[in-house]
Protein backbone atom coordinates (compact mmCIF):
# COMPACT_ATOMS: atom_id res chain seq x y z
CA UNK A 1 0.00 0.00 0.00
CA UNK A 2 1.53 3.32 -1.07
CA UNK A 3 1.60 6.37 1.21
CA UNK A 4 -1.12 8.24 -0.69
CA UNK A 5 -3.59 5.38 -0.38
CA UNK A 6 -2.74 4.83 3.28
CA UNK A 7 -3.28 8.53 4.04
CA UNK A 8 -6.63 8.52 2.25
CA UNK A 9 -7.82 5.49 4.21
CA UNK A 10 -6.63 7.12 7.44
CA UNK A 11 -8.66 10.25 6.64
CA UNK A 12 -11.75 8.13 5.92
CA UNK A 13 -11.29 6.41 9.27
CA UNK A 14 -10.85 9.76 11.08
CA UNK A 15 -13.91 11.27 9.39
CA UNK A 16 -16.02 8.37 10.65
CA UNK A 17 -14.49 8.76 14.11
CA UNK A 18 -15.23 12.48 14.32
CA UNK A 19 -18.82 12.25 13.04
CA UNK A 20 -19.82 9.88 15.84
CA UNK A 21 -17.72 11.85 18.34
CA UNK A 22 -19.71 14.94 17.36
CA UNK A 23 -22.93 13.05 18.09
CA UNK A 24 -21.81 12.14 21.60
CA UNK A 25 -20.31 15.57 22.24
CA UNK A 26 -23.48 17.22 20.96
CA UNK A 27 -25.55 15.30 23.50
CA UNK A 28 -23.09 16.22 26.23
CA UNK A 29 -22.96 19.91 25.30
CA UNK A 30 -26.73 20.24 25.01
CA UNK A 31 -27.20 18.41 28.33
CA UNK A 32 -25.37 21.25 30.09
CA UNK A 33 -28.39 23.43 29.30
CA UNK A 34 -31.32 21.13 28.53
CA UNK A 35 -30.55 18.12 30.74
CA UNK A 36 -30.14 14.45 29.86
CA UNK A 37 -33.68 13.77 28.73
CA UNK A 38 -34.71 11.37 26.00
CA UNK A 39 -35.52 14.45 23.91
CA UNK A 40 -31.88 15.55 23.85
CA UNK A 41 -30.73 12.07 22.86
CA UNK A 42 -33.47 11.56 20.29
CA UNK A 43 -33.06 14.99 18.69
CA UNK A 44 -29.29 14.82 18.34
CA UNK A 45 -29.28 11.23 17.05
CA UNK A 46 -32.06 12.00 14.57
CA UNK A 47 -30.39 15.17 13.29
CA UNK A 48 -27.05 13.41 12.89
CA UNK A 49 -28.74 10.60 10.91
CA UNK A 50 -30.41 13.18 8.66
CA UNK A 51 -27.02 14.87 8.20
CA UNK A 52 -25.41 11.56 7.24
CA UNK A 53 -28.13 10.89 4.66
CA UNK A 54 -27.68 14.34 3.14
CA UNK A 55 -23.91 13.97 3.20
CA UNK A 56 -23.92 10.58 1.49
CA UNK A 57 -26.24 11.88 -1.23
CA UNK A 58 -24.30 15.13 -1.73
CA UNK A 59 -21.03 13.20 -1.74
CA UNK A 60 -22.38 10.94 -4.47
CA UNK A 61 -23.37 13.94 -6.61
CA UNK A 62 -19.98 15.57 -6.14
CA UNK A 63 -18.18 12.31 -6.90
CA UNK A 64 -19.61 12.38 -10.43
CA UNK A 65 -17.95 15.76 -10.96
CA UNK A 66 -14.70 15.40 -9.08
CA UNK A 67 -13.44 12.32 -7.27
CA UNK A 68 -9.80 13.16 -6.76
CA UNK A 69 -8.03 12.61 -3.47
CA UNK A 70 -7.45 16.36 -3.26
CA UNK A 71 -11.21 16.99 -3.38
CA UNK A 72 -11.67 14.70 -0.37
CA UNK A 73 -9.06 16.55 1.66
CA UNK A 74 -10.56 19.94 0.81
CA UNK A 75 -14.01 18.79 1.97
CA UNK A 76 -12.54 17.49 5.23
CA UNK A 77 -10.81 20.82 5.78
CA UNK A 78 -14.01 22.79 5.18
CA UNK A 79 -15.86 20.53 7.63
CA UNK A 80 -13.06 20.98 10.13
CA UNK A 81 -13.13 24.75 9.70
CA UNK A 82 -16.82 24.72 10.62
CA UNK A 83 -15.96 22.57 13.62
CA UNK A 84 -13.83 25.48 14.81
CA UNK A 85 -16.96 27.68 14.67
CA UNK A 86 -18.77 25.08 16.77
CA UNK A 87 -15.99 25.09 19.35
CA UNK A 88 -15.92 28.87 19.59
CA UNK A 89 -19.65 29.51 19.59
CA UNK A 90 -21.39 26.73 21.50
CA UNK A 91 -21.09 28.24 25.01
CA UNK A 92 -22.64 31.52 23.82
CA UNK A 93 -25.29 29.98 21.56
CA UNK A 94 -26.46 27.55 24.23
CA UNK A 95 -26.71 30.37 26.73
CA UNK A 96 -29.20 32.01 24.37
CA UNK A 97 -31.05 28.85 23.29
CA UNK A 98 -31.37 27.69 26.88
CA UNK A 99 -34.11 30.28 27.39
CA UNK A 100 -36.20 28.86 24.55
CA UNK A 101 -38.75 26.06 24.51
CA UNK A 102 -36.97 22.73 25.10
CA UNK A 103 -37.63 21.04 21.77
CA UNK A 104 -37.13 24.23 19.74
CA UNK A 105 -33.91 25.11 21.53
CA UNK A 106 -32.47 21.61 21.24
CA UNK A 107 -33.37 21.33 17.54
CA UNK A 108 -32.03 24.71 16.42
CA UNK A 109 -28.86 24.39 18.47
CA UNK A 110 -28.22 20.93 17.01
CA UNK A 111 -28.76 22.14 13.46
CA UNK A 112 -26.45 25.14 13.82
CA UNK A 113 -23.67 23.41 15.71
CA UNK A 114 -23.65 19.85 14.36
CA UNK A 115 -25.27 19.58 10.94
CA UNK A 116 -22.73 21.32 8.64
CA UNK A 117 -19.62 19.43 9.83
CA UNK A 118 -21.54 16.14 9.91
CA UNK A 119 -22.74 16.60 6.32
CA UNK A 120 -19.30 17.54 5.05
CA UNK A 121 -17.47 14.72 6.79
CA UNK A 122 -20.03 12.12 5.68
CA UNK A 123 -19.48 13.21 2.04
CA UNK A 124 -16.02 11.68 2.20
CA UNK A 125 -16.99 7.99 1.86
CA UNK A 126 -18.91 8.13 -1.48
CA UNK A 127 -16.25 10.34 -3.07
CA UNK A 128 -13.51 8.03 -1.83
CA UNK A 129 -15.36 5.01 -3.25
CA UNK A 130 -15.60 6.66 -6.68
CA UNK A 131 -11.93 7.66 -6.55
CA UNK A 132 -10.73 4.18 -5.61
CA UNK A 133 -13.02 2.42 -8.06
CA UNK A 134 -11.58 4.59 -10.79
CA UNK A 135 -8.06 3.60 -9.81
CA UNK A 136 -8.57 0.00 -8.71
CA UNK A 137 -11.73 -1.09 -10.44
CA UNK A 138 -12.58 -3.47 -7.60
CA UNK A 139 -16.18 -3.96 -6.51
CA UNK A 140 -15.12 -4.89 -2.97
CA UNK A 141 -13.87 -1.31 -2.55
CA UNK A 142 -17.36 -0.13 -1.66
CA UNK A 143 -17.70 -2.49 1.28
CA UNK A 144 -14.15 -1.80 2.42
CA UNK A 145 -14.64 1.97 2.54
CA UNK A 146 -17.91 1.82 4.45
CA UNK A 147 -16.43 -0.78 6.77
CA UNK A 148 -13.41 1.42 7.48
CA UNK A 149 -15.61 4.46 8.13
CA UNK A 150 -17.79 2.37 10.43
CA UNK A 151 -14.76 1.08 12.33
CA UNK A 152 -13.79 4.72 12.87
CA UNK A 153 -17.28 5.42 14.19
CA UNK A 154 -17.15 2.44 16.54
CA UNK A 155 -13.83 3.56 17.95
CA UNK A 156 -15.21 7.09 18.15
CA UNK A 157 -18.05 5.86 20.39
CA UNK A 158 -15.83 4.10 22.88
CA UNK A 159 -12.88 6.51 22.85
CA UNK A 160 -15.08 9.59 23.24
CA UNK A 161 -17.29 8.02 25.91
CA UNK A 162 -14.71 6.27 28.08
CA UNK A 163 -11.51 8.21 27.47
CA UNK A 164 -11.71 11.62 25.87
CA UNK A 165 -14.65 13.29 27.64
CA UNK A 166 -13.97 11.89 31.15
CA UNK A 167 -10.25 12.72 31.06
CA UNK A 168 -10.08 15.80 28.83
CA UNK A 169 -13.55 17.35 28.72
CA UNK A 170 -15.80 18.37 25.84
CA UNK A 171 -13.89 21.37 24.52
CA UNK A 172 -10.50 19.65 24.61
CA UNK A 173 -12.01 16.66 22.78
CA UNK A 174 -13.40 18.95 20.08
CA UNK A 175 -10.02 20.68 19.77
CA UNK A 176 -8.29 17.32 19.46
CA UNK A 177 -10.69 16.25 16.69
CA UNK A 178 -10.02 19.56 14.93
CA UNK A 179 -6.23 19.25 15.20
CA UNK A 180 -6.01 15.62 14.05
CA UNK A 181 -8.34 16.14 11.08
CA UNK A 182 -6.55 19.28 9.97
CA UNK A 183 -3.10 17.71 10.25
CA UNK A 184 -3.81 14.62 8.18
CA UNK A 185 -6.01 16.42 5.65
CA UNK A 186 -3.27 19.02 5.09
CA UNK A 187 -0.70 16.25 4.81
CA UNK A 188 -2.83 14.52 2.19
CA UNK A 189 -3.32 17.79 0.33
CA UNK A 190 0.43 18.30 0.34
CA UNK A 191 1.08 14.84 -1.12
CA UNK A 192 -1.39 15.52 -3.91
CA UNK A 193 0.79 18.49 -4.88
CA UNK A 194 -1.83 21.19 -5.25
CA UNK A 195 -0.89 24.76 -5.90
CA UNK A 196 1.13 26.31 -3.12
CA UNK A 197 -1.54 28.99 -2.79
CA UNK A 198 -4.26 26.43 -1.91
CA UNK A 199 -2.04 24.55 0.53
CA UNK A 200 -0.67 27.64 2.25
CA UNK A 201 -4.12 29.23 2.46
CA UNK A 202 -5.54 26.10 4.11
CA UNK A 203 -2.58 25.95 6.49
CA UNK A 204 -2.95 29.58 7.54
CA UNK A 205 -6.72 29.26 8.01
CA UNK A 206 -6.21 26.11 10.08
CA UNK A 207 -3.65 27.76 12.37
CA UNK A 208 -5.81 30.86 12.83
CA UNK A 209 -8.97 28.87 13.56
CA UNK A 210 -7.21 26.50 15.95
CA UNK A 211 -5.64 29.41 17.82
CA UNK A 212 -8.98 31.22 17.99
CA UNK A 213 -10.77 28.08 19.20
CA UNK A 214 -8.13 27.57 21.86
CA UNK A 215 -8.22 31.19 22.94
CA UNK A 216 -11.99 31.63 23.19
CA UNK A 217 -12.89 30.78 26.75
CA UNK A 218 -16.28 29.72 27.97
CA UNK A 219 -17.87 32.56 29.95
CA UNK A 220 -17.07 32.16 33.63
CA UNK A 221 -19.77 33.42 35.95
CA UNK A 222 -19.00 35.50 39.00
CA UNK A 223 -18.13 33.37 41.99
CA UNK A 224 -17.08 30.26 40.08
CA UNK A 225 -14.55 28.32 42.14
CA UNK A 226 -13.97 25.43 39.75
CA UNK A 227 -15.60 24.03 36.63
CA UNK A 228 -14.89 20.54 35.37
CA UNK A 229 -16.43 17.52 33.67
CA UNK A 230 -17.00 13.94 34.68
CA UNK A 231 -18.36 10.91 32.89
CA UNK A 232 -21.85 11.99 34.03
CA UNK A 233 -21.96 15.78 34.36
CA UNK A 234 -20.59 19.20 33.63
CA UNK A 235 -19.83 20.26 37.20
CA UNK A 236 -19.36 23.72 38.66
CA UNK A 237 -18.69 24.89 42.20
CA UNK A 238 -19.82 28.47 42.74
CA UNK A 239 -19.93 30.88 45.69
CA UNK A 240 -22.76 33.40 46.07
CA UNK A 241 -23.79 35.53 49.05
CA UNK A 242 -22.08 33.36 51.62
CA UNK A 243 -23.35 30.06 50.21
CA UNK A 244 -21.40 27.52 48.17
CA UNK A 245 -23.34 25.74 45.43
CA UNK A 246 -22.75 22.66 43.32
CA UNK A 247 -24.20 22.97 39.82
CA UNK A 248 -24.68 19.93 37.61
CA UNK A 249 -25.18 20.69 33.93
CA UNK A 250 -25.89 24.32 34.80
CA UNK A 251 -28.47 23.69 37.52
CA UNK A 252 -27.95 24.10 41.31
CA UNK A 253 -28.18 20.70 43.00
CA UNK A 254 -26.46 20.99 46.39
CA UNK A 255 -25.34 23.79 48.65
CA UNK A 256 -23.57 24.53 51.91
CA UNK A 257 -23.84 27.66 54.04
CA UNK A 258 -20.88 28.96 56.05
CA UNK A 259 -22.76 27.84 59.13
CA UNK A 260 -25.42 25.15 59.08
CA UNK A 261 -28.93 26.53 59.55
CA UNK A 262 -32.50 25.37 59.23
CA UNK A 263 -34.89 27.21 56.93
CA UNK A 264 -38.21 26.27 55.38
CA UNK A 265 -36.62 24.57 52.38
CA UNK A 266 -37.09 20.99 51.27
CA UNK A 267 -33.55 19.89 52.16
CA UNK A 268 -34.05 21.26 55.68
CA UNK A 269 -37.39 19.45 55.96
CA UNK A 270 -35.73 16.18 55.03
CA UNK A 271 -33.02 16.86 57.61
CA UNK A 272 -35.57 17.15 60.45
CA UNK A 273 -37.80 14.32 59.21
CA UNK A 274 -35.92 11.54 61.08
CA UNK A 275 -36.48 13.44 64.32
CA UNK A 276 -40.13 14.01 63.45
CA UNK A 277 -40.72 10.36 62.64
CA UNK A 278 -38.51 8.88 65.35
CA UNK A 279 -36.00 7.19 63.03
CA UNK A 280 -32.25 6.97 63.60
CA UNK A 281 -31.11 5.93 60.12
CA UNK A 282 -31.61 7.28 56.63
CA UNK A 283 -30.55 6.39 53.10
CA UNK A 284 -30.10 9.29 50.64
CA UNK A 285 -30.21 8.40 46.94
CA UNK A 286 -28.64 11.26 45.00
CA UNK A 287 -26.33 12.33 47.81
CA UNK A 288 -24.69 15.23 45.98
CA UNK A 289 -22.23 17.06 48.21
CA UNK A 290 -24.05 16.22 51.44
CA UNK A 291 -26.47 19.11 51.95
CA UNK A 292 -28.92 16.99 53.93
CA UNK A 293 -26.30 14.97 55.81
CA UNK A 294 -24.52 18.17 56.86
CA UNK A 295 -27.69 19.55 58.40
CA UNK A 296 -28.47 16.23 60.10
CA UNK A 297 -24.96 16.05 61.55
CA UNK A 298 -25.22 19.61 62.87
CA UNK A 299 -28.65 19.30 64.50
CA UNK A 300 -29.37 15.56 64.91
CA UNK A 301 -25.95 13.87 65.21
CA UNK A 302 -27.42 10.59 66.48
CA UNK A 303 -28.95 9.85 63.07
CA UNK A 304 -26.93 7.50 60.87
CA UNK A 305 -26.85 8.52 57.20
CA UNK A 306 -25.88 6.39 54.24
CA UNK A 307 -25.53 8.16 50.90
CA UNK A 308 -25.45 6.97 47.30
CA UNK A 309 -24.05 9.19 44.54
CA UNK A 310 -23.49 7.98 40.99
CA UNK A 311 -20.79 10.52 40.09
CA UNK A 312 -17.42 9.95 41.81
CA UNK A 313 -16.19 13.41 40.81
CA UNK A 314 -19.07 14.98 42.77
CA UNK A 315 -17.90 13.12 45.88
CA UNK A 316 -14.29 14.22 45.28
CA UNK A 317 -15.39 17.85 45.00
CA UNK A 318 -17.62 17.44 48.06
CA UNK A 319 -14.59 16.40 50.09
CA UNK A 320 -12.41 19.19 48.74
CA UNK A 321 -14.81 22.12 48.58
CA UNK A 322 -17.77 21.27 50.83
CA UNK A 323 -16.04 19.75 53.83
CA UNK A 324 -17.53 16.27 53.39
CA UNK A 325 -16.03 13.84 55.89
CA UNK A 326 -17.18 10.28 56.26
CA UNK A 327 -17.46 8.93 59.80
CA UNK A 328 -19.18 6.31 61.90
CA UNK A 329 -22.44 8.18 61.33
CA UNK A 330 -21.95 8.84 57.60
CA UNK A 331 -21.04 6.41 54.81
CA UNK A 332 -21.10 7.36 51.12
CA UNK A 333 -21.22 4.90 48.22
CA UNK A 334 -20.50 5.59 44.56
CA UNK A 335 -23.21 3.71 42.68
CA UNK A 336 -26.43 4.05 40.74
CA UNK A 337 -29.38 4.50 43.11
CA UNK A 338 -31.45 1.62 41.82
CA UNK A 339 -28.51 -0.73 41.49
CA UNK A 340 -27.50 0.03 45.07
CA UNK A 341 -30.98 -0.78 46.35
CA UNK A 342 -31.05 -3.98 44.34
CA UNK A 343 -27.75 -5.16 45.82
CA UNK A 344 -28.26 -3.90 49.38
CA UNK A 345 -29.46 -6.24 52.11
CA UNK A 346 -30.02 -3.48 54.67
CA UNK A 347 -33.27 -2.02 55.92
CA UNK A 348 -33.73 1.71 56.48
CA UNK A 349 -36.12 3.81 58.50
CA UNK A 350 -36.24 6.53 55.84
CA UNK A 351 -35.17 6.56 52.20
CA UNK A 352 -34.89 9.95 50.50
CA UNK A 353 -34.94 9.65 46.70
CA UNK A 354 -33.17 12.77 45.49
CA UNK A 355 -31.79 11.26 42.28
CA UNK A 356 -32.29 14.02 39.72
CA UNK A 357 -30.26 15.32 36.78
CA UNK A 358 -30.73 18.98 35.95
CA UNK A 359 -34.44 19.45 35.31
CA UNK A 360 -35.04 15.82 34.46
CA UNK A 361 -35.55 12.86 36.79
CA UNK A 362 -33.87 9.59 35.71
CA UNK A 363 -36.66 7.35 34.43
CA UNK A 364 -35.64 4.25 36.38
CA UNK A 365 -36.02 5.82 39.84
CA UNK A 366 -39.68 6.84 39.66
CA UNK A 367 -41.32 3.71 38.30
CA UNK A 368 -43.68 1.39 40.16
CA UNK A 369 -40.97 -1.28 40.16
CA UNK A 370 -38.49 1.12 41.74
CA UNK A 371 -40.93 2.06 44.50
CA UNK A 372 -41.58 -1.62 45.16
CA UNK A 373 -37.84 -2.15 45.51
CA UNK A 374 -37.50 0.86 47.82
CA UNK A 375 -40.43 -0.32 49.94
CA UNK A 376 -38.76 -3.70 50.36
CA UNK A 377 -35.67 -1.94 51.77
CA UNK A 378 -37.67 -0.01 54.38
CA UNK A 379 -38.50 -1.04 57.93
CA UNK A 380 -42.08 -2.24 58.43
CA UNK A 381 -43.07 1.31 59.43
CA UNK A 382 -40.53 3.06 57.18
CA UNK A 383 -41.12 6.05 54.92
CA UNK A 384 -39.96 6.90 51.41
CA UNK A 385 -39.52 10.61 50.66
CA UNK A 386 -39.39 11.41 46.95
CA UNK A 387 -38.36 14.61 45.18
CA UNK A 388 -40.63 16.25 42.64
CA UNK A 389 -41.29 19.79 41.45
CA UNK A 390 -44.09 21.90 40.08
CA UNK A 391 -44.66 25.30 38.50
CA UNK A 392 -47.65 27.41 39.42
CA UNK A 393 -50.84 25.45 38.90
CA UNK A 394 -49.10 22.82 36.78
CA UNK A 395 -48.61 19.69 38.89
CA UNK A 396 -48.69 16.90 36.32
CA UNK A 397 -45.28 15.55 37.36
CA UNK A 398 -46.17 15.46 41.05
CA UNK A 399 -49.53 13.85 40.31
CA UNK A 400 -48.00 11.06 38.22
CA UNK A 401 -45.25 10.26 40.72
CA UNK A 402 -47.86 10.35 43.49
CA UNK A 403 -50.21 8.04 41.61
CA UNK A 404 -47.33 5.63 41.05
CA UNK A 405 -46.37 5.66 44.72
CA UNK A 406 -50.01 4.92 45.58
CA UNK A 407 -49.63 1.60 43.80
CA UNK A 408 -47.08 0.58 46.46
CA UNK A 409 -47.68 2.55 49.66
CA UNK A 410 -50.96 2.56 51.65
CA UNK A 411 -50.61 6.27 52.51
CA UNK A 412 -49.04 8.91 50.26
CA UNK A 413 -48.78 12.60 51.14
CA UNK A 414 -47.31 15.64 49.42
CA UNK A 415 -45.67 18.68 50.98
CA UNK A 416 -44.95 21.81 48.93
CA UNK A 417 -42.12 24.31 49.24
CA UNK A 418 -43.29 27.30 47.18
CA UNK A 419 -40.02 29.25 47.31
CA UNK A 420 -38.28 26.42 45.47
CA UNK A 421 -41.31 25.10 43.55
CA UNK A 422 -40.46 21.69 44.99
CA UNK A 423 -42.80 19.01 46.29
CA UNK A 424 -41.81 16.16 48.56
CA UNK A 425 -43.94 13.04 48.25
CA UNK A 426 -44.00 10.74 51.27
CA UNK A 427 -44.92 7.09 50.97
CA UNK A 428 -45.74 5.47 54.34
CA UNK A 429 -45.53 1.69 54.64
CA UNK A 430 -48.23 1.84 57.30
CA UNK A 431 -51.51 3.68 56.92
CA UNK A 432 -51.03 7.16 58.37
CA UNK A 433 -53.66 9.82 59.05
CA UNK A 434 -53.21 13.57 59.22
CA UNK A 435 -54.05 13.34 62.93
CA UNK A 436 -51.12 10.98 63.45
CA UNK A 437 -48.84 13.38 61.60
CA UNK A 438 -50.06 16.27 63.78
CA UNK A 439 -49.38 14.21 66.89
CA UNK A 440 -45.85 13.49 65.71
CA UNK A 441 -45.27 17.21 65.10
CA UNK A 442 -46.25 18.08 68.67
CA UNK A 443 -44.19 15.22 70.09
CA UNK A 444 -41.13 16.28 68.09
CA UNK A 445 -41.41 19.88 69.27
CA UNK A 446 -41.58 18.70 72.86
CA UNK A 447 -38.82 16.13 72.58
CA UNK A 448 -36.29 18.26 70.70
CA UNK A 449 -35.52 21.55 72.34
CA UNK A 450 -34.58 23.13 69.02
CA UNK A 451 -36.48 26.36 68.30
CA UNK A 452 -35.04 26.70 64.76
CA UNK A 453 -36.53 23.30 63.86
CA UNK A 454 -40.04 24.11 65.06
CA UNK A 455 -41.13 25.99 61.88
CA UNK A 456 -40.08 22.95 59.85
CA UNK A 457 -41.87 20.55 62.17
CA UNK A 458 -45.00 22.71 61.86
CA UNK A 459 -44.63 22.87 58.08
CA UNK A 460 -45.42 19.15 58.02
CA UNK A 461 -48.93 20.04 59.20
CA UNK A 462 -49.50 21.28 55.64
CA UNK A 463 -49.05 17.78 54.18
CA UNK A 464 -51.89 16.86 51.85
CA UNK A 465 -53.06 13.38 51.02
CA UNK A 466 -52.33 12.57 47.39
CA UNK A 467 -55.28 11.93 45.07
CA UNK A 468 -54.28 8.52 43.79
CA UNK A 469 -56.70 8.75 40.86
CA UNK A 470 -54.91 11.73 39.32
CA UNK A 471 -51.81 11.32 37.22
CA UNK A 472 -50.44 8.55 35.04
CA UNK A 473 -48.89 5.49 36.67
CA UNK A 474 -45.24 5.11 35.65
CA UNK A 475 -43.79 1.65 35.07
CA UNK A 476 -40.50 0.32 33.70
CA UNK A 477 -42.37 -0.77 30.58
CA UNK A 478 -44.30 2.45 30.03
CA UNK A 479 -42.26 5.29 31.43
CA UNK A 480 -43.28 8.77 30.21
CA UNK A 481 -41.27 10.65 32.87
CA UNK A 482 -39.34 12.76 30.34
CA UNK A 483 -42.56 13.76 28.57
CA UNK A 484 -44.24 14.56 31.88
CA UNK A 485 -41.29 16.68 32.93
CA UNK A 486 -41.29 18.50 29.59
CA UNK A 487 -45.02 19.25 29.98
CA UNK A 488 -44.31 20.42 33.52
CA UNK A 489 -41.60 22.91 32.60
CA UNK A 490 -43.01 24.09 29.24
CATH of residue 170: 1.20.1250
Contact (CB, 8 A) for 237 and 224: yes
209 with 237, same domain: the answer is no
Domain endpoint, select from 215, 247, 268 = 215
- pLDDT at position 437 is 96
Please report which residue ranges of 35-139 form alpha helices under DSSP H. Answer: 38-63, 69-97, 102-122, 124-136
254: nearest Cα among 311, 314, 299, 305: 314
Contact (CB, 8 A) for 52 and 19: yes
- pLDDT at position 100 is 82
Hey, CA dihedral for 162, 168, 172, 176, is it positive or negative? negative
Domain residue limits at 142:
3-215
204 with 244, same domain: the answer is no
232 with 211, same domain: the answer is no
145 with 182, same domain: the answer is yes
**Residue 105 Cα distances to 31, 45, 99, angstroms:** 12, 15, 8
CATH number at residue 437: 3.40.50.150
386 with 461, same domain: the answer is yes
Q: Which residues pair with 384 in a beta bridge?
A: 351, 427
**Residue 156 Cα distances to 146, 207, 294, angstroms:** 15, 24, 41
Residue 220 lies in a domain: no
- pLDDT at position 358 is 65
181 with 238, same domain: the answer is no
Residue 221 lies in a domain: no
Measured N-to-C along each axis, helices 3-34 and 124-136 cross at an angle, to the nearest 10 degrees, of 170
β-strands 330-334, 348-353: how paired?
unpaired
- pLDDT at position 267 is 95
Distance CA 133, CA 458 (A): 80
109 with 232, same domain: the answer is no
Distance CA 99, CA 86 (A): 19
Residue 362 lies in a domain: yes
Task: Count up the domains in the chain and report the number.
Answer: 2
136 with 270, same domain: the answer is no
> pTM value?
0.89
Distance CA 262, CA 235 (A): 26
129 with 204, same domain: the answer is yes
Dihedrals phi, psi of 246, to nearest 5 degrees = -110, 125
Please report which residue ranges of 137-169 form alpha helices under DSSP H. Answer: 140-159, 165-168
Tens place of pLDDT per residue across the chain (490 aa) = 688 889 999 999 999 999 999 999 999 998 888 878 888 899 999 999 999 999 999 999 999 888 888 899 999 999 999 999 999 999 888 888 877 888 889 999 999 999 999 999 999 999 998 888 765 556 567 778 888 999 999 999 999 999 999 889 999 999 999 999 999 999 998 888 666 777 788 888 999 999 989 888 777 778 999 999 998 888 999 999 889 999 998 888 999 998 899 998 999 999 999 999 999 999 999 999 999 999 999 999 999 999 999 999 999 999 999 999 999 999 999 999 999 999 999 999 999 999 987 678 899 999 999 999 999 999 999 999 999 998 878 899 999 999 999 999 999 999 999 989 999 999 999 999 999 999 999 999 999 989 999 999 999 999 999 999 999 999 999 999 988 888 888 7
- pLDDT at position 138 is 60
- pLDDT at position 194 is 66
361 with 466, same domain: the answer is yes
* Residues in contact with 165: Cβ distance below 8 Å, sequence separation at least 6, in sequence order: 24, 25, 28, 173, 229, 231
199 with 265, same domain: the answer is no
Amino acid sequence: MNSKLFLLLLNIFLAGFVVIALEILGIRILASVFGYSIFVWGTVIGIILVSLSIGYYAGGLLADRSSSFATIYKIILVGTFYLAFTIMSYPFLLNAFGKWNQITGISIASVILLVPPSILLSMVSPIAIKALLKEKGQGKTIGSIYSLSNIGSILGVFATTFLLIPFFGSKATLLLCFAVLVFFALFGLFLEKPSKRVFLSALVISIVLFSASLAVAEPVKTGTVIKTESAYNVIEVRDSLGTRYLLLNGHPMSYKDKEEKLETYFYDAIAVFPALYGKDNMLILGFGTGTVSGKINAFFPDVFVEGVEIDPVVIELAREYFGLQESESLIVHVDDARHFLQASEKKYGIIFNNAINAKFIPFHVVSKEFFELASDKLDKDGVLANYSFYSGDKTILRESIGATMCMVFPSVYSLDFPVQNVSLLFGFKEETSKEEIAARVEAAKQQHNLPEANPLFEHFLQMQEVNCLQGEVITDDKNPIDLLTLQQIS
